[in-house]
Chain A
């Protein structure tokens, strides 16, 4: 009986605490106390260092640290990129390495801790279901600009203390119409450092260009694009060189080797065509099928490239 009374009293107290504003309505908190811990997101584009707001969003801060420490953010990715607004990390359930059972067990709904810290550049804001304020789990956003319409509707729980240039680098990647990036913006790892001093031991990776911004869904590269021209010129040059070599050394090379040279030329030519056609192929099923069957034919031919001479 006593136990129930204590639990009830604590629950009411907790409810009252969570319902009462942490700060007076008129006072806008712009510089909340930062956590001692630092979380480093090692992304495709470099390191982003985060600090949390344990006083204005204690549950979010604690759960975020727990998630990061258990490796749940390793291999997640930013699935939404909207310049001047935000970049958003996808749910951990969609990460590259499937979650381990023990990791899945850690993920739980975090009740909303809507506070008065405004949504502005560098702020971390927890995502949630639109209809359920207490449904935040693992997806969060980094704000790229002011977004007052999100204030007190989404929980602000931390901010980027270093590495906004890395975030801006990610914003540069080509995007689809639904704001998803065309290259996977992977967070390779999330590292937790207990304090600033510990963070100093990290060999920080500064901003670096995204290695392969996929242009696959872009309109096909124009034939006048200098890169295409250079590539084609190089490939055709190699083919000419091989043909010339074959001609010059035709006496020394056996028939099989000459046939091999010819096949090699076919291979290079087919690869040039593949690079040109593949980006266009998905727009036309017949072209896609033709490209695929052409590739299979090439592989079949290559198997007979050179017989013992």
Chain B
């Protein structure tokens, strides 16, 4: 599962880039729902826990000439899957760390993920913090457990993109992914970014390969 960033020109001057994105966060904060909204524009009220991890792709057009394809790893939030997480974020170009704005503990968990990503993942990884379930709070402001300002402050200090989202109403979902796409190094075309060398074996070192650094820097 090495980096699979592909960028390059297409006839007509259009640009196409491909990035690996990973979703992390406590269980039941809505990671899969965010992905389902983003990829299929659907929402299930009753969604069962993700088992293992799901791999999906979605392509968005930033403007008339620029398309970005996300390869998305939607991971399961349960504790028992934690040891597998490095496999998914190892070569990720970007990450969405999700918490539930009606559950105070979920932000702590999100902070732990951010810390782990900043320590272990690709050093140029773009991290977005998403406070999900905004619809709950819109209906009933008492349900909010995490003030927007607090999370925003934290995101600013940690250098993260920040959105409060609702997978249910789709509020800010597209915006979240678009903002990430805009921060990614789209302009770095060229062959050196097309598919890093042969992937083989398991490399558990935090900095998995130099190709990732090459493709992920210089925003």
Chains A and B bind each other: no
Residue positions of A touching B, CB distance < 8 A: none
